[in-house]
Amino acid sequence: MATNRDYQAGEIVSVSLPFVHVLKKEFKGKNCDYCFVECKSNEFGKCGNCKKMYYCGNDCQKKDWNQHKLECKIYKENFDQLQSTGQSDLFFRFVLRLHLYLKRNPFFLYEQHKFLNDKNSSVCIFDIINRMIPTINQDTVSGFLFMSQQYSLLKIKWDPKRMMSCFHLCYEYGIDIFNYEMQSLGSGLYLAESQLKHSCSPNVTSLFNGAQLVMRTTRPIKSGEQI
C-alpha cells in the first residue's frame, strides 16, 4: 500500500479502533472491556444485566453496547460454561461477538474501511472473505467442530456458512492486543490494516494505546513508497 506523502521516522501513520475485540478473562475487572485501559477495581462499573463486562465509565459502556447487547443474555446464562472451554475461551468469545454482530447487521459486510484515507485502499469484510484462502489443518477443523458443538449446547442459532466465515476471519486476521509491558490483553480485528503486506524489513511498527492500534514509522518514508 503506497503512502500519499512523506513521513519522518517515528511519525504516526494511522490510529484505528477494532471492528470487534474481546478482553482476556484474566484481565476482567482490571482493564476496561471496551477501551482496555487499566483501572482500579473501585473505578469499574459492571453491565447491569450479565454482570460479566467491566467498564471504566458510562461512555465506554455505551460505545460497547451495540455489540455487547447481542451477547449479553448468553453471558448472563452461560458465562461459566464459556470459561470452561479453557484456552479457547477468548477465541470462542471473539468469533461469537463477530458472528452475532454480522448476523444482526449484515450491511456491515459491505462497509468500506480505508487505510490512510486512501480511496484505493478501501476494503470490506465481504471482499476479505471472498479472497481469503482459509488455513485448513487439524487444529482449525477441530476448533470449528468444537465451536459448533458449543453453539448447539448454548442454543445459539447459527448459519454454518456465516459461522465458518467468521471463524476463519478471526483465525486469519485477528491479532493480539498488547499493553506497554507486552502482555497480551485480548484479540481484535482491524480491517483497514488487514491490507498491509508482510515485510522482512518493515518501515512501520504497530503499537497499542488501549485497544487503539497505532501504526508508527520506523524510518523515513517517501511519498509513493509501499508501507
Summarize pLDDT for 154-184 with one digit per residue, the tens: 778 778 888 888 998 999 999 999 999 999 9
Gyration radius from the chain CA atoms? 18
What does the alpha-carbon distance between residue 165 and residue 97 come to, in Å, rounded to a whole number? 13
- The neighbouring-strand residues paired with 21 are 188
How many angstroms separate the CA atoms of 128 and 124, rounded?
6
Segment 50-62 shows an average pLDDT of 95
Does position 86 have pLDDT exceeding 60, yes or no?
no
- Residue burial 76-103, b: 16+ Cβ < 10 Å; e: rest: eebbeebeeeeebbbbbbbbbbbbbbbb
Give the C-alpha separation, 199 to 187, whole Å.
22
Supply the pLDDT for residue 106.
Answer: 93
Q: Is 20 exposed, middle or buried (0-12, 13-18, 19+ CB in 10 A)?
A: buried
45-46/184-189 β-pairing: unpaired
Q: Which of the pair, 205 or 142, is modelled with greater confidence?
A: 205
Grid coordinates of 53: 463486562
* 91 pLDDT more than 60: yes
Angle subtended at Cα 159 by Cα 25 and Cα 103, rounded to the nearest 5 degrees? 65
- Residues 62-83: pLDDT tens digits? 999 999 999 999 999 888 777 6
Percent of the chain with pLDDT over 70: 94
Cα gap 222→164, rounded to integer Å: 40
Residue 134 confidence (pLDDT) above 70: no
pLDDT given at position 50: 94
- In this prediction, residue 84 has a pLDDT band, given cuts at 50, 70 and 90, of low
Is the pLDDT assigned to residue 87 strictly greater than 70? no
CA distance 182 to 149: 33
